[in-house]
DNA sequence: AACTGGTACAACCGCAACTTA
DNA sequence: TTAAGTTGCGGTTGTACCAGT
């Protein structure tokens, strides 16, 4: 068995960071740059594990972070990207300059999820939810097949589609044909995407999302 | 003023992916 | 090739803050 990356030895600080700790971390990274998180704490004189240092830097101390409320355009983009990519927060955050995956994830869980639910949309799959209070009707539920109470066939279909969406997230991002899934549940979610040449594996995700954003930026925001 | 419930967000944890020897 | 080590991600938790009673 390998030992944990952050050995839980005593004397390690946990919980909220102090200003002094922040300062030490910032100073160290300014001098030496990011990376080597495992050895950083000792080198910087911090009683934290490397993981904790990385998280603090990435989510809070990085100078290029945009703090404050999410704009409507940002929220809309998150919703669209989530429909496409699912809970891939780092990818989603990558398309939101100055935002971190943690921030996006928190915002999704506290604001956007609820928002979608209030609209009668299942935040997990971005489809109209099975009628609970008649909300779906007003949303013009076009999903004759999506609102089955039991999760038999539909669930399988969903899984299949989710897989497909992942695959298509990039390639489809460009297809002149609309991605069948997300748009069909969210009529106002325009995912018209274009396709480029086949991508090498390591570029797939990024490229997909990049093209997604390019396309998104042309559309009016719709969820608010 | 004290209590309570809800919300927002920072931070932790476990695991998977990636890298290195 | 593979085992060990490191990094990054996503889910979850803890807690400070705020509004309502």
> What does the pLDDT read at residue A93?
93
Closest nucleotide to residue A36 (Cα to C1')? C6
Closest nucleotide to residue A106 (Cα to C1')? B9
- A186 CA → C17 C1’, Å: 35
Rounded to whole angstroms, the Cα distance separating A192 from A217 reads 11
Q: Which two tokens stand for residue A76?
A: 């809309």
A137's CB contacts (< 8 A; 6+ apart) are: A131
Q: What is the pLDDT of residues A60-102, one digit of tens each?
A: 999 888 888 888 889 999 999 999 999 999 999 999 989 999 9
> What does the pLDDT read at residue A179?
36
Strand C footprint nucleotides (protein C-beta < 7 Å): 4-12, 15-16
> Residue A6: pLDDT band by 50, 70, 90 thresholds?
low
> What does the pLDDT read at residue A131?
59
> What does the pLDDT read at residue A66?
85
Q: What is the pLDDT of residues A197-210, one digit of tens each?
A: 333 333 334 344 44
Residue A45 Ramachandran class (φ > 0 left, ψ -120 to 50 alpha, else beta): left
- A90 CA → B16 C1’, Å: 15
- A15 CA → C8 C1’, Å: 20
Q: How many C-alpha atoms does A51 have within 13 Å on its Cβ side?
A: 9
Q: Which two tokens stand for residue A69?
A: 């409320």
The residue that leads in pLDDT, A176 or A60, is A60
Q: Is the CB of A16 under 7 A from strand B?
A: yes
Mean per-residue pLDDT, A26-50: 89
């Amino acid at each position: 068995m390998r030992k944990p990356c952050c050995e839980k030895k005593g004397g390690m600080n946990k919980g909220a960071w102090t200003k002094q700790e922040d300062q030490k971390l910032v100073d160290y990274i300014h001098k030496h740059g990011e990376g080597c998180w495992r050895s950083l704490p000792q080198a910087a004189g911090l009683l934290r594990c490397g993981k904790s240092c990385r998280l603090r830097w990435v989510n809070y101390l990085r100078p290029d972070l945009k703090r404050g409320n999410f704009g409507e355009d940002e929220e809309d983009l998150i919703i669209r990207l989530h429909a496409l990519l699912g809970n891939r927060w780092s990818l989603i955050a990558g398309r939101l300059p100055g935002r971190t995956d943690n921030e996006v994830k928190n915002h999704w869980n506290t604001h956007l999820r609820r928002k979608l639910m209030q609209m009668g949309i299942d935040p997990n799959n971005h489809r109209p939810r099975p009628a609970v209070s008649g909300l779906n009707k007003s949303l013009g539920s076009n999903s004759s097949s999506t609102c089955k109470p039991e999760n038999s066939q539909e669930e399988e279909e969903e899984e299949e589609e989710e897989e497909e969406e992942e695959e298509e997230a990039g390639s489809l991002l460009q297809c002149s044909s609309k991605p069948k899934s997300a748009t069909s549940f969210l009529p106002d979610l325009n995912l018209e995407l274009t396709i480029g040449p086949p991508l090498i594996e390591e570029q797939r995700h990024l490229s997909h999302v990049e093209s997604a954003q390019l396309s998104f930026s042309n559309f009016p925001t719709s969820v608010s």
